Amino acid sequence: MIQKIRQFVAEVITELKKVNWTSRRELLEAAWIVLVSSTVVAIFIFFIDFVLAKIITTIIS
């Protein structure tokens, strides 16, 4: 059992050495893209919600 665990850990370490980790610069660029995209989508949803709420309020009143 212990031998299987050691073999598993050794294989995990071997596989992790093969991983192509992103650079700090690539990570920051991706983070900015996500932040800007999320902000744009949030603003768009806010305005659509605001307009639809005004329309429904006008219809109901």
Q: What is the pTM of this model?
A: 0.63
> Which residue do the tokens 């995990």 mark?
12
Q: Quote the percentage of the chain above a pLDDT of 90.
A: 93
22: CB partners within 8 A, 6+ apart:
30
Quick check: 4 pLDDT over 90? yes
CA trace torsion 33, 36, 40, 43 (10° rounding): 150
> pLDDT value at position 10?
95
pLDDT confidence bin for 14, thresholds 50/70/90? very high
What distance in Å separates the CA atoms of residue 28 and residue 23, rounded to the nearest whole number? 9
Segment 23-50 mean pLDDT: 97
What distance in Å separates the CA atoms of residue 3 and residue 9, rounded to the nearest whole number? 10
